[in-house]
A and B are shown apart, each in its own frame.
Chain A
Amino acid sequence: MDGLARIGKIYLNRNSFLTPCIAHPSIFENLWRVGDDSENPLKVLIPQNFRSSSPALIKTEKNSDLLYTIPSLNFEGDVVNLLNLVKNLICEKKLFDAQDLAFPVPCNLEPSKISYLLKEAVKLGLRYFILQRVSSLLKNPRKMIDIIVGVIKNICTPDSVLHLSSFIPPYFMRFLSYLGVDIFDDSVAYIAASQKNYLTFSKVLDFKGLKELPCPCTHCENFDLNADFKHSREEIFEFLLAHNLSVYKSEIRSIREDIRGEVFRESVEAITHASPSIKGALRILDRDSNYSSQVEEAIPVRRKSVFLCSSSDSLYRPMVKRWRKRIIERCKPPKHVKIVVILPCSARKPYSFSKSHKFFLRSIKGGARKKIKMVHEIILTSPLGVVPRELELTYPASKYEIPVTGHWDWEEKKTVTEVMGNYLSNFGEDVHFLAHVDGVYAEIVREASDYLSRDVEFTCLNGESPKAEGSLKRLKSAVYEALKDRNNAVSNPNLFHIGRGRMIADFQFGSGVGNILLPPSMRIKVEGNYPRVQRFFINNAQVATLVPEDGLLALTFLGGEKLVEKGFYFVEFDGNKIEGGTLYCVAVSEADKQIRPQDEVFIVNKDRRILAVGKAVLSGKQMVMAKKGPAVRIRRKNKQDET
């Protein structure tokens, strides 16, 4: 999953197929064959027009191989009449189950009418939707997002299938997948071939003007462009059609592979260059708060892949915005902190293992000595803004890559300044701010200091870089000077590790959870060497584990109880005993709305007793809405509770 895109297997009647996929039109049968690589494709009948066909055209015979399609609408005036027809078919005459029917959604109607139509259709149990006339939205990015995300994705349950039937060029597929469309029609391959258009993944080329065929597919390899004049019109059509269809096929496979490889968002950012409409639509989706929060809900909290931030859109991608939001809202600095040291980021991650940060750490430790626990380090970086040292292992801080050239654009600077200003405003007047940065970083710190009306001491002077000997010496003495008159009230030698555990808990589960899991009043033991696995114990009972791969915590049932008591990160199961390794949506009666895909969650029964721990597949809201599909992959079951 990424954005609203999802990869999945759809089981319908006797057929199953992977999505996203192609629905191939079969003009002789008047139906689509859905599932590009499936041996047993689902057949979906094309819709009749509600006005020009008599409603009796819907066959009354049931055929398990076919999905029947409700007649399609052209104008608002027919919405109620059409719904009555559907109600009649499903509820009164009982000729069809809702799941045997596909429902066309005319995307060119008024949003309020589409919304009404869909809400009623969802109520009737319809789950297969054919999106029509989406091409009328493609030139208008705002309309495209308003209708597809604001109306359709918002109303349809997560287990609904979205089949887009409009003519769309191949380069819109990836972006529309990102918006949650599952099935694409490849009719345009035919239209393009008849128009002598040669399709590529990002363009429509005029075949007549080509000097070379850019694609090395077998159709292109076997076509002699120089002997073009020898080919008949039909031969050229057949060739172009075969190539164009292969572009659709290849693109849909690549989409699936990028979703699986968890690099889908990066690939969507790349395709935005194919059309200003896509670029505009992504901007609206990322930056308009209504939509960005809707998309954020569906974005996982961790990925296996490296987090590439190569375009200006990266600054607004949901995972990045979530980071900045959680840093400000969830992560409160420890009370005993007396100095904040602001450091530049490094190319190597985690930062503390880079050469530059090793120098910084040596100077800071040298200056602070035993009072090191009173020092809080934060790293300034784009696009995340601020990374507290405690979260340097947490995804995506541990795995992001940006082009480092020293060029910052205005928006980057502004965003990072705001995050830092907000983060620093949490610290009391008695906390001293030290900035060990130069260049653009120093400009940002100065602006944030103006914004906060707080003084910041700079340790890189005279144009010296942070790594320069003079700067490092000044850092050391500045730390020493700032701490020399402070009393060291902190004695626990593990405090830095415990502090890290608490901050990760706050970041992962919510403000204050760190102190609930690892209460300051208790004796806490930490085992394991950073950055390897670290275990946290209270009175010799393990509460949590820091998983180094993504810098997040895995909790024991003991830790889970503390979370669930607060109503955090629970998924309520409709029973007492879970079979198998997966909890399905159908059995979920309630779930914490804060849950995001890949979050650590606890499955509880009606009495809120923990039955199992696992990773969420869907967001908390989605798993309650959906009736089909997996909700939680279980890691461990609570054996004590099995009776």
Chain B
Amino acid sequence: MSVKNFETRSLKDPDFSNEIKAIRSYHLSKIKKKEVLSVKYWIEQDRLLKGIGKALTIILPTKGCSWALSKSGGCSMCGYINDAVKYGAKSVCDSEKLVYEFEKTLKNNLDKEFEALKIFTSGSFFDESELSKEAQKKIFETISTYKNVSEVVVESRPEYVTSEKIEETVNILNGKTLEVGIGLETSNDIVRSRCINKGFSFQDFSKVVHEIIDGEARVKAYILIKPPFLSEKEAINDAIKSAIDASKVGAKSISFNPCNVQSGTLVEKLWKNKSYRPPWLWSIIEVLKKSFNKIKSDVDRIICDPVAGGKSRGSHNCGKCDKKVLQAIRKTSLNQDPEMLGAVCDCYEVWKTFLEYEAFSQDPDPSFILSL
């Protein structure tokens, strides 16, 4: 098994790790995980390299993210491990079975139109403890026979990505574009280590990006909007700067992920404690506007699809305008046109004022204050 050993010792924060681990373990002990999980998939409109098109997303039920399962506790905002199959339920995690399920899903969707294929695990595709080397290879070989697919996206933490693996995959895919999504979250090492507990540095990320580009594949950088412990204003600036930094290193797709409150995470604890509020949709609009303005010519696409948008656990505004603003964000992603970001609501002024005064009050959410 090839796993890179990054020099992240200095970024480690044992107290932080322990806290995250404790919250996660407690939550995992409370929930009942399924022994058998079926493959989830859906087809939706998406921004592809060619323009607007359809993408088939397939989620493979592996054992889940090794980082989240390790004693590090995983990332402070991520609860995807809750959806992974029960650890040790070999019958399901078995790579051969996963390949079989994958092929079956693909076959079932043959009659449908799609040009892009996204294969996600709740962890890293290239992590061989989730999916064996042979299984990875088999999946790519299957895809290479599907003529209408031009774009393949997988996700992985950087430590599982090697030049050889990229080269080999690109060869197998034989002309189809490979894009590797990496959760950079932020280009700020302090925020990534002390607020997210991500476990790798910006330098680690950059190195892998170069390797992927050298192997003639592409990089999609996931940027987290509003990591915990940042104010709304700091979060906006952090996301914009991170997008610029990622594009400079060579990421050609920027995907903004507004932080949402997932179960069994530190972020959930902070949220329940009134120490955290997911980002306002206005903040996302601000981040998108500035990013389009600054890096549109350097990247192929800037996309954002807020998870749990409009809900209290997801990115939201006042409640009245959420649908409208979410639509503007999705339309902008599809069309890559920042002109579509224009939306209005009275709460825009509140958000603007709040950005300036949050640092004083340290209250993450002013909405209920005047209703007491």
Contacts and interface: CB of A to CB of B under 8 A. Distances in A.
Interface stretch (B175-183, B217-225, B344-352): B344-352
B200 interface: no
B274 A133 contact: yes
A188 B369 contact: yes
Interface in B245-302: 266, 269-270, 273-276
Contacts, number: 131
Contacts of B362: 47, 72, 104, 106, 132-133, 165-166
B370 to A, nearest CB: 5
A81 B269 CA distance: 19
B228 A74 contact: yes
Interface string B352-372: 111011011111001011111
B190 A191 contact: no
Main secondary structure of the interface of B (DSSP, over half): helix
B349 A169 contact: no
Interface in B1-25: 15-16, 18-19
Interface in A269-287: 275, 277
B372 A169 contact: yes
Interface in A57-91: 72, 74-78, 80-81
Contact of B372 (A32, A139, A233): A139
B152 interface: no
Interface stretch (A192-200, A260-268, A361-369, A421-429): A192-200
A46 interface: yes
A107 B354 CA distance: 20
B238 to A, nearest CB: 9
B194 interface: yes
B357 A52 contact: no
B372 A52 contact: no
Contacts of A117: none
A227 interface: no
A32 B362 CA distance: 13
Contact residue range for chain A? 35 or more
A76 B227 CA distance: 18
A75 B370 contact: no
Contacts of A49: 229-231
Interface residues of B, number: 41
Contacts of B363: 132-133, 135-136, 166-167
Given A25-B357, A51-B229, A191-B370, A108 B194 contact: no
Contacts of B229: 49-52, 74
B329 interface: no
B239 to A, nearest CB: 13
A114 interface: no
Contact of B266 (A75, A187, A192, A277): A75
B195 interface: yes
A239 interface: no
A27 interface: yes
B191 interface: yes
B234 interface: yes
A30 B360 CA distance: 8
B229 to A, nearest CB: 4
Given A30-B359, A109-B273, A196 B366 contact: no
A516 interface: no
Given A167-B366, A187-B360, A187-B361, A51 B195 contact: yes
Interface in A137-174: 138-139, 165-169, 172
Contacts of A136: 273-274, 363
B369 A168 contact: yes
Contacts of B357: 25, 27, 167, 187, 190-191
A289 interface: no
Interface of B: 15-16, 18-19, 190-191, 194-195, 227-231, 234, 266, 269-270, 273-276, 346-347, 349-350, 352-354, 356-357, 359-363, 366, 368-372
25 contacts: A27-B357, A32-B360, A50-B229, A51-B229, A52-B191, A52-B230, A74-B228, A74-B229, A74-B275, A77-B18, A78-B15, A80-B15, A135-B363, A138-B369, A165-B360, A167-B361, A172-B372, A185-B360, A190-B353, A191-B357, A192-B370, A194-B349, A194-B352, A197-B370, A237-B349
